[in-house]
Amino acid sequence: MEIIYGKSVVQEALKAKHKAMKLYVDNKSKDKQIEEIITLAKSQNLKIQFCDNTYLQTLTKGLHQGVALEVEEYKYYDLDQVLKNLKKDKPVFVMLDGLEDPHNLGAILRTCDASGVDGVIIPKNRTVKLSSTVAKVSTGAIEYVKVIEVTNLTQTIKKLQQAGYWICTAEKTDNSVLYDKVDYDMPVVLVIGSEGRGVSRLVKEASDFIVEIPMCGHVNSLNASVSAAILIYEVMKTRRG
């Protein structure tokens, strides 16, 4: 089980009908959004426990805003099923190579939901997992973005290439090109590396394009969620002409 918290996170989970067991509410709350959450919970016949702020703090890991929800653990999607059910001519996926920070994953899910990305691909091992922290940072987007777990990223890249996808990896190398010099008007997978190590050698070697985001300051890299957002919206801009 997982305890998620925060008004927007809990509300979106209930709207998406994420399997839930119990709603916890601050007994002193008079917030209109929380009243809407209670109404949603009652419509789904959920148990509701009114409690004090101290008890809510013991359940959560951050700012709970007066509400928390006990839910079934987040499940991952199967890549073959997602590909089979796609109806777009030019889908967009984001692949995360070894991402470790749940705040980055949450922010990336939020951007993916806003931009209509078709799914986020992560490896099963050595990576951040879906959690209450990810849910909180995503402000509910975790309920709508398909997160796909795969055993091996390089094998997954080969499968996607055989299915007509082009792999575009964000990394500054001797052979990289500026991110806005690629025509993204095609089925594409945007690869973002880990916060410390970047993209693995095998993933880079399997990629069709290596792109870099120009920087003129003193640091040599951007936050992973920022890099993802820049590339995602460049794809959108390219497709809008």
Residues 208-225 pLDDT 10s: 999 999 988 777 778 999
Instruction: Look up the pTM and report it.
Output: 0.92
Q: What is the pLDDT of residue 55?
A: 94
DSSP the chain: -EEEESHHHHHHHHHTT--EEEEEEETT---HHHHHHHHHHHHTT-EEEEE-HHHHHHH-SS--TTEEEEEPPPP-B-HHHHHHH---SS-EEEEEES---HHHHHHHHHHHHHHT--EEEEESSSS----HHHHHHHTTGGGTSPEEEES-HHHHHHHHHHTT-EEEEE---TT-EEGGGS---SSEEEEEEBTTTBS-HHHHHH-SEEEE----SS-S---HHHHHHHHHHHHHHHHH-
Above 80 in pLDDT, residue 230?
Answer: yes
Q: What is the pLDDT of residue 241?
A: 65
Name which of 47-51, 52-56, 99-103, 220-224 the model is least confident about.
Answer: 220-224
Nearest to 112 by CA among 241, 239, 23, 225: 225
> What is the average pLDDT across 173-202?
92
In tens, the pLDDT along 92-139 reads 999 999 999 999 999 999 999 999 999 999 999 989 999 999 999 999
Structure tokens at 157: 């890249």
